[in-house]
Amino acid sequence: MSVPHTTLICNQCNASASTLQLDKYRIYLDGGAEVPVRSTFGWCEECASIRPIERFDDAAQVRAELNDIETELNQRSSSWLKRLFNRDLPARSSSLIQLSTKHVTLQHRLALIEKRHGDEACLNCGSRRLLPFTGDYDLELGIDFFYKGSKPTGFFHPGCGGEFIAEGSDIRFHFARITYCYSPVGELLEERRT
Ligand SMILES: [Zn+2]
Ligand SMILES: [Zn+2]
C-alpha cells in the first residue's frame, strides 16, 4: 500500500514528525476480539515528539452502527427460520457470521470507549503525559496524489517555541504489512508481519 503524507517540521530546531504514523494498521486484542484502534496526533512528553495517540470520541457513531446491525440481525433471524430449507442457506449463514462478528467487535469498541475515554495513551510508548495537538496540517491533495505546498500549522514546539510547518512530500512510502497489536489499556503487545 502506498500513501501520500505530510511532514511537520519545527522551524526553530528541525524536529519532525510524519503523518504516516497515523496510517499504520493498529488493533486492540481484547478477549479474543480484534478491535480497531482510532488515533489522532498529540504531543507526548515522554517521546518528546508529535505522536499518534488513542482516540475515544466515537461513542455516538459506534452506538448508531450497533443499532443498525441489531435491527438487521433481528430481521434476519425472523426470516431465517422461514428460509430454513432455502438453497441459499450457506451464503446466508456466512453473511450472518460476518454481521455477528462485526457486532461483537463494535460491542468491544464501545466498552473500551466507555472505560478508557479520558485515559488516552501514546501509541508509541504508552505514556499518558500528553498534550493535545491543536495544529492544522491539511494540505491540498494534488491530482498526482501527493500533498502540495506547505503551511504553518499553528502548533508550537513545546519547550522549543518554534512552530511546526506542514510540508507535502513527494516521496511515496510503501508500507510493509504490519499489524500493531495493543492491549485494552493501550500497551503495544506485538507487531504481526503477514
Ligand atoms: Zn523545535
Ligand atoms: Zn510517547
What is the rounded average pLDDT of the residues 61-86?
A: 82
- Output phi, psi for 95, to 5 deg: -70, -30
**Residue bearing cell 426470516:** 79
> How many angstroms separate the alpha carbon of residue 133 from the centre of ligand 1?
15
Query: In what side-by-side order are the strands of the sheet with 39-44?
Result: 49-54, 39-44, 130-132
Please provide the average confidence, as pLDDT, over all residues in the chain: 90
> How many angstroms separate the alpha carbon of residue 129 from the centre of ligand 2?
8
Q: How far apart are CA 7 and CA 18, in angstroms?
A: 4
Domain edges within the chain: 58-111
Lowest-pLDDT range, 73-77, 92-96, 161-165? 92-96
How much of the chain, in percent, has pLDDT values that exceed 90?
Answer: 72
Q: Is the pLDDT of residue 40 over 70?
A: yes
> Ion ligand 2 — residues with CB under 5 Å?
44, 46-47, 51, 122, 124-125, 127
> What's the pTM?
0.87
**Binning pLDDT at 50, 70 and 90, where does residue 184 land?**
very high
The winner for highest mean pLDDT among 73-82, 92-101, 181-190 is: 181-190
| Chain centre distance of CA 73 | 27
Q: Is the pLDDT of residue 87 over 60?
A: no
Biggest alpha carbon distance in the chain? 71
Q: How far apart are CA 118 and CA 65, in angstroms?
A: 22
> How many angstroms separate the alpha carbon of residue 6 from the centre of ligand 1?
17
